[in-house]
Amino acid sequence: MGFDIQIKEDLKMLVEGIILKCSMNIQGERTDSAIYHILKGKRSIQTVQDIHLYQLENFFGVYKSLKKQLFERKINELNAKGFLQRISTSEPLFKTSKAGVDWLDQSTVEIPYHYFAGLKYNGMANSFFERLTLLIQTLTNSYMKYYKFIPVIDTTSVENWVKALFLKAKSKESYILSTIFQELESLLHYLTDQEAEMFVDRLSGYKNYGMSIHQLAVKYEMTSEDTQLYFTGIIHRMLTMIENANSSFPFMSFILKDISNKHMITNSANSTYTFLKRGYSIDTIAQLRQLKNNTIYDHIVEIALYDANFPIHNYVSKEDQQKIMKASSITRSYKLKMIKQSVDEHISYFQIRLVLAYAKNSLGR
C-alpha cells in the first residue's frame, strides 16, 4: 500500500480535479452545465452523448448528490485561481488553462482519478456497498446473539436481499463472516493504507456503527464533497478488482451477481427501438407514442451509441457518413454547428449526431 495515513493536499481538491479533467476534454465546446449533468449522471441523450464523445464515461454519475450552488462555486474558484479560463462573455464556456493542466499533471500522482468507472458501475456501486455493510452488521450482531441493533441501511430491496440470505445461512454465520473477512483483506491490499482505513471506518459491526461521510470528512480533514467522491472511487476500484479476478472473490461476486448495471439504453428509447424494428416510421412512432419527432430522433441517437448492429445506412448514406467524419476530423471538434458548416447543406443536425454516436460505438467494439 502506497500512501501513509496523512492526507495529501491534492486530495482536498478532488471535486476540482474532476471538474478540470472534464473541462480539459470538452475544451469549451459545451457550457459548464454539461459537466454538472455528467457528474450528476443525468440520463438525457445530450449527456449520454457527451460522455461518449468526450471520453468522460468514467466520471458519469460519480457525484449524484452534487448541488448546483456548490458546483458553480467550484467553477468560480477555479476561474479565480486561473485553472479555468472563461472563453465567452455570453455563455458559461470554460477551458482548462495551462496552469490547470499543469496542476492536473502534478495531482495525478496523488489523486486516484483512474479508480473511477462511473458509467460502468452506475447503479451498482451503492447497491453493492449497502448489501455488504448491512450483511456484515446483521451477521456480526446475530453471531453474538444481539438482535437490538438498528440497521444502518433502510433501502427496502437491500433489506430484502440480506433477509433472504440470512434465513438461508443463519447456521453458517461464522463461515460467511470468515469468507467476507478473507476476501476484503485481499481486496484492501489493492488500496492505499488511507483508503483501506476509510473503507473499514464506514462498516458497521457488533454494537458498532460505521462512520458517516461527514464523520469521515472530520477525521481525515477533508471536505464532505471530496470525502463522498473519494469513497465512491474506492468502491469503484474494489468492483474493478472483483470483476478482473472474480474467481479470487467468489462471495463478493455473489453479492454483485443480480445487481443490474443501469447504463444502457433508457426505457423510453428502448420502446422506440421496439417500434423501429417492426418497421414503423419516425412520424408514426411519434404519433403512437404521443411524442415529438425530435424526441424520437434523440432516441435513435441513443440507440446508435449502444447497439452494435444499428442500421445506420437507413438514416445516413455511406458518402454522407464519410463527409461528416472528415468534417469532425478537420475541425477537431464535436461541436455540431462547426461540423454543420463544413458539410453539404442537405446533411441535418440529426444525421451529424447519429454518425458521431455510431462512430463512437464502433470504436468501442
Identify the helix (H) or strand (E) that includes residue 84: strand 84-86
Same domain, yes or no: 223 and 281: no
19 part of a folded domain: yes
Rounded to whole angstroms, how far apart are CA atoms 117 and 343? 35
281 part of a folded domain: yes
118 part of a folded domain: no
- Grid cell 479470487 in the structure block, residue: 248
Per-residue pLDDT, 95: 94
Within 189-266, residue ranges assigned H as helices are: 193-202, 213-220, 224-244, 250-256
Per-residue pLDDT, 364: 55
Domain span holding position 276: 267-364
Of how many residues is the chain composed?
Answer: 365
3 part of a folded domain: no
Sequence-separated (6 or more) residues with CB below 8 Å from residue 272: 285, 289, 296, 299, 300, 303
Signed CA dihedral, 303, 295, 325, 29: sign only: negative
Specify which residues 94 forms β-bridges with: 86
DSSP state of 264: S
Is residue 355 within 8 A of residue 49, CB to CB? The reply is no
Regions of the chain short of the pLDDT cut 50: 1-7, 365
pTM here? 0.83
Same domain, yes or no: 64 and 148: no
Say which CATH number the domain at 78 has.
1.10.10.10
Per-residue pLDDT, 258: 84
Per-residue pLDDT, 265: 67
Structural domains counted in the chain: 3
Same domain, yes or no: 189 and 234: yes
Same domain, yes or no: 135 and 243: yes
Per-residue pLDDT, 365: 47
Same domain, yes or no: 135 and 88: no
> In sequence order, what DSSP letters do the residues of 92-130 get, joined into one string?
--EEE-HHHHHHHHHHTTTS-GGG--TTTTTTTHHHHHH
